[in-house]
Amino acid sequence: MIPQINEAQFHTLKEMVSGTNAFSQIVPDPSKDTPSDLALWEKGEAETQQLVDLGLIVETTEQCKDQISRVFLTTNRLFRVFETTDIAKQMFSDTHRTVQ
Protein backbone atom coordinates (compact mmCIF):
# COMPACT_ATOMS: atom_id res chain seq x y z
CA MET A 1 0.00 0.00 0.00
CA ILE A 2 1.28 3.45 -0.94
CA PRO A 3 1.06 5.88 1.99
CA GLN A 4 -1.15 8.90 1.39
CA ILE A 5 -1.76 12.12 3.25
CA ASN A 6 -5.13 13.79 3.59
CA GLU A 7 -6.06 17.35 2.65
CA ALA A 8 -5.54 18.71 6.17
CA GLN A 9 -2.05 17.18 6.34
CA PHE A 10 -1.24 18.61 2.91
CA HIS A 11 -2.30 22.11 3.97
CA THR A 12 -0.37 21.81 7.24
CA LEU A 13 2.80 20.90 5.37
CA LYS A 14 2.31 23.69 2.81
CA GLU A 15 1.79 26.25 5.60
CA MET A 16 4.81 24.95 7.50
CA VAL A 17 7.23 25.18 4.57
CA SER A 18 5.98 28.62 3.56
CA GLY A 19 6.19 29.88 7.15
CA THR A 20 8.30 28.97 10.14
CA ASN A 21 8.84 25.29 9.19
CA ALA A 22 7.33 24.37 12.56
CA PHE A 23 4.06 24.06 14.43
CA SER A 24 2.88 23.23 17.90
CA GLN A 25 0.08 20.87 18.76
CA ILE A 26 -1.96 20.67 21.96
CA VAL A 27 -1.70 17.44 23.92
CA PRO A 28 -5.17 16.00 24.53
CA ASP A 29 -6.18 15.84 28.19
CA PRO A 30 -9.32 13.89 29.15
CA SER A 31 -9.56 15.87 32.39
CA LYS A 32 -9.70 19.20 30.52
CA ASP A 33 -11.27 18.41 27.16
CA THR A 34 -14.88 17.74 26.28
CA PRO A 35 -15.42 14.35 24.63
CA SER A 36 -15.81 16.00 21.22
CA ASP A 37 -12.68 18.15 21.64
CA LEU A 38 -10.76 15.14 22.92
CA ALA A 39 -11.75 13.18 19.82
CA LEU A 40 -10.60 16.04 17.56
CA TRP A 41 -7.26 16.45 19.38
CA GLU A 42 -6.65 12.68 19.23
CA LYS A 43 -7.45 12.60 15.50
CA GLY A 44 -4.97 15.44 15.01
CA GLU A 45 -2.35 13.54 17.00
CA ALA A 46 -2.82 10.48 14.78
CA GLU A 47 -2.50 12.57 11.61
CA THR A 48 0.62 14.25 12.96
CA GLN A 49 2.13 10.89 13.89
CA GLN A 50 1.55 9.70 10.33
CA LEU A 51 3.58 12.66 9.04
CA VAL A 52 6.34 11.74 11.50
CA ASP A 53 6.20 8.11 10.36
CA LEU A 54 6.47 9.23 6.73
CA GLY A 55 9.57 11.30 7.56
CA LEU A 56 7.95 14.60 6.60
CA ILE A 57 8.15 16.16 10.06
CA VAL A 58 10.14 15.50 13.23
CA GLU A 59 9.22 16.16 16.82
CA THR A 60 11.36 18.84 18.45
CA THR A 61 9.46 19.17 21.72
CA GLU A 62 12.50 18.30 23.82
CA GLN A 63 14.54 21.10 22.26
CA CYS A 64 11.72 23.57 23.07
CA LYS A 65 11.06 22.49 26.66
CA ASP A 66 11.79 25.94 28.15
CA GLN A 67 9.24 27.63 25.89
CA ILE A 68 6.71 24.84 26.46
CA SER A 69 7.13 25.20 30.22
CA ARG A 70 6.35 28.91 29.98
CA VAL A 71 3.28 28.24 27.86
CA PHE A 72 2.14 25.61 30.35
CA LEU A 73 2.34 28.15 33.17
CA THR A 74 -0.05 30.47 31.36
CA THR A 75 -2.37 27.94 29.70
CA ASN A 76 -2.18 24.87 31.95
CA ARG A 77 -1.83 22.83 28.74
CA LEU A 78 0.98 20.76 27.29
CA PHE A 79 2.06 21.13 23.69
CA ARG A 80 4.27 19.21 21.30
CA VAL A 81 6.42 20.92 18.67
CA PHE A 82 7.24 19.63 15.20
CA GLU A 83 9.47 20.82 12.37
CA THR A 84 9.56 19.95 8.71
CA THR A 85 12.29 17.72 7.37
CA ASP A 86 14.42 18.64 4.37
CA ILE A 87 12.41 16.26 2.18
CA ALA A 88 9.14 17.97 3.18
CA LYS A 89 10.67 21.36 2.41
CA GLN A 90 11.63 20.11 -1.05
CA MET A 91 8.29 18.41 -1.70
CA PHE A 92 5.95 21.14 -0.44
CA SER A 93 7.82 24.33 -1.27
CA ASP A 94 6.17 26.72 -3.73
CA THR A 95 9.52 27.12 -5.42
CA HIS A 96 9.50 25.05 -8.56
CA ARG A 97 12.74 24.28 -10.31
CA THR A 98 12.84 23.85 -14.02
CA VAL A 99 15.24 21.67 -15.89
CA GLN A 100 16.93 23.37 -18.83
Backbone angles phi, psi at 5, to 5 degrees: -110, 155
| Model pLDDT for residues 11-69, shown as the tens digit of each residue | 999 999 999 999 999 999 999 999 999 999 999 999 999 999 999 999 999 999 999 99
Handedness of CA 15, 97, 7, 59 (dihedral sign): negative
Identify whether the C-beta of residue 88 lies closer than 8 Å to the C-beta of residue 65.
Answer: no
**What b/e sequence results for 60-71 when a residue is b if at least 16 CB atoms lie within 10 Å of its CB, and e otherwise?**
ebeebeeebeee
Q: What is the pTM of this model?
A: 0.86
Model confidence at 94, pLDDT cuts 50, 70, 90, reads confident
